[in-house]
Structure 1
């Protein structure tokens, strides 16, 4: 019904105002605020970046070599954007991780000269454009050089909190573990003191990056002694559940690494994967049979994408491939598509004059037809 004095309840929806924070950008799909993980190829795989309020779970490689690099990239990107940082670790001193962050560089670390790009197969192919690289990436974030460490002049001005379990509080409620409870209290105080909670009416000018290293290892509690046998793991799952509640209701992102190879209970990994938004698994070739396999000679491990989140959307990002690998070059870590070499059988090198493999000729062009044909 329309007419004078009647006000329609339908209103045109205006554009959503996106918060502008240094080091972030809105998603082109749903305007979700994204942060870079520090590795452009990883940003591409998870949909353009890590959404604010989400948790990415990394299942460590067996020797915790490459998963630690992922964490260093994540923290280094926070330093370059002046984000608030919180690093927690009981297996390695947090100071040892922050003192070895990769140094930023203005150019690609693996950049090659134009002279080395010339093709040497044939001179007529030199005018052809080169094929696109197998690595995927977008220009979001900074470039880093693993051969150099970030100077203290960059990290000294960052609001960074390091937690090593030296100050513990008694657990409460369902979370009896002192380590997990104390870490949660540190994170909660950081969020409240900086007004990063979504319930706060103050304008948001920064985000909090949480880096939790090797959570669930034997140093975090006594669960390996008795709770693993009973398939409980109550403290670890409760901690991740409460951590997700803190992250989801604040302007913060979290990267958690867990030693999945130490968990003998398969149900535990399923629960952890359900509590995280993004889950990736690193399968290093170090110490395995694949290390000497010629198929994987150019790579250092398989990169398994276990779970992708659908935040503010109906479906998660759709990837154009399912097989991914990671490669540690001299100066950087990249994630690429797995390209297997062509499979050449022994018959390829057979003599061309073999009468059994001669093509059947046609009499009209001078070919000789075989006398006996087998059907």
Structure 2
């Protein structure tokens, strides 16, 4: 009896160990990654990323714009450079055959689509090259450091030439929905503004008809790029003056909150530009920053004192990174510096690190040197000891 129990226990341990049993060993298969043209997974958290069209901006966002996120761009005062960022963003969508949805009341959406930059096979050459004696060599510690942040990150977007427009036939072949506010419906509830309500309905309809919702079981092979230009300007509602005076912006803040919910539950990304310089209520900007994942601000030198400042003679404005989101990670992307500027060259728009020029004025140096010698001579004549701490 004991021998039978011994044999039974041996076979039981034999089966549990999986020796000779094929069902106990399973090949580890990698999880299937969604493949969308023009998208790639992040090297940090495997989040699906899309290019904004500007490689330096992709770097600042952690490699690109994650699917399901919102980028809020605070416009420059004259809305010159912010529209260029929007055109780069839309041009990248056309090149990757993404679905596009463009909404604007300040500028005709048709005109924006006609002025998209043309793609080019090579990187546009650097402009304003200085030769001979005019060329200035920076400090040795910065010689091997790239001015543009793109050198630190592998780009996956396209190159564009601002001096040329994209082929109209290529733009016409793209799946583009244009919204200019001509057809509106009456708002409901908190969204009493007809424009905000109608735009949200158009976005929801586009996502549902394209099966881009995360609740849909259909395989996702494409993504929707939303471009919302100058949201919150006076053209978006006749009640702008009253809202600005009474600090009531229920329609605008509710619009951003609902937009975030729609984007989060769909395969889409959104670039929203707002004229923040016309808002006098600082609390409004903080409420608009909350639903956005990334917030950047353009401070143009055009029409300001910095335009004539020799320190900023090579740049066109400051680029402020206000907010970076931590999506599928514990911390947001960490940048090596906080001082960024943007520069519009003849063929491209770039974001660069701000390098202040060294002070090489001979008059200042000589003046400091003469004052120091005078001070040292006075102490020597008086028989005083030299000061331990010299004030340079």
TM-score over 0.5 (shorter chain): yes
Q: Once the 2 structures are TM-superposed, how far is the Cα of residue 275 of structure 1 from its aligned partner?
A: 1.0
Query: Matched residues in 2 for 1:71 and 1:152: separation?
Result: 18
User: Which one of the candidate residues 95, 101, 116 is aligned to 1:80?
Assistant: 95
| Residue number in structure 1 paired with 2:85 | 70
1:96 counterpart SS class: helix
**What's the C-alpha RMSD, in Å, of the aligned pairs?**
2.9
Q: Once the 2 structures are TM-superposed, how far is the Cα of residue 371 of structure 1 from its aligned partner?
A: 10
Q: Once the 2 structures are TM-superposed, how far is the Cα of residue 131 of structure 1 from its aligned partner?
A: 3.5
Q: Assess if the C-alpha contact under 8 Å between 1:207 and 1:252 holds in 2.
A: yes
The verdict on how the C-alpha distance between 1:191 and 1:349 changes in structure 2, with shifts beyond 3 A counting, is same
2:201 counterpart SS class: helix
Query: Matched residues in 2 for 1:91 and 1:134: separation?
Result: 35
1:136 counterpart = 2:136: no
1:229 counterpart SS class: helix
Query: Matched residues in 2 for 1:224 and 1:288: separation?
Result: 27
The verdict on how the C-alpha distance between 1:356 and 1:153 changes in structure 2, with shifts beyond 3 A counting, is same
Question: Where in structure 2 are there 5+ consecutive unaligned residues?
Answer: 1-11, 19-25, 136-142, 387-392
1:110 counterpart = 2:125: yes
| Residue number in structure 2 paired with 1:126 | none
| Residue number in structure 2 paired with 1:300 | 316
| Residue number in structure 2 paired with 1:364 | none
Higher Rg of the two aligned structures: 2
User: Which one of the candidate residues 329, 339, 356 is aligned to 2:373?
Assistant: 356
1:88-122 deviation line (CA, Å, top 9, x unaligned):
0000000110100000001111258xxx8999899
In the TM superposition, 1:295-374 aligns within 5 A as 295-344=311-360, 346-349=363-366, 356=373, 372=383, 374=385
Q: Once the 2 structures are TM-superposed, how far is the Cα of residue 14 of structure 1 from its aligned partner?
A: 6.1
1:38 counterpart = 2:49: no
1:276 counterpart SS class: coil
Q: What is the TM-score of this pair, normalised by structure 2?
A: 0.83
Q: Assess if the C-alpha contact under 8 Å between 1:110 and 1:332 holds in 2.
A: no
Structure (1 or 2) with the greater helix fraction = 2
| Residue number in structure 2 paired with 1:161 | 177
Q: Once the 2 structures are TM-superposed, how far is the Cα of residue 230 of structure 1 from its aligned partner?
A: 2.2
Query: Matched residues in 2 for 1:101 and 1:287: separation?
Result: 26
How many residue pairs get aligned? The number is 354
Q: What is the TM-score of this pair, normalised by structure 1?
A: 0.87
The verdict on how the C-alpha distance between 1:351 and 1:256 changes in structure 2, with shifts beyond 3 A counting, is closer
The verdict on how the C-alpha distance between 1:219 and 1:353 changes in structure 2, with shifts beyond 3 A counting, is closer
Query: Matched residues in 2 for 1:74 and 1:199: separation?
Result: 27
| Residue number in structure 2 paired with 1:27 | 42
Q: Once the 2 structures are TM-superposed, how far is the Cα of residue 373 of structure 1 from its aligned partner?
A: 5.6
Question: Where in structure 1 are there 5+ consecutive unaligned residues?
Answer: 123-129, 361-368
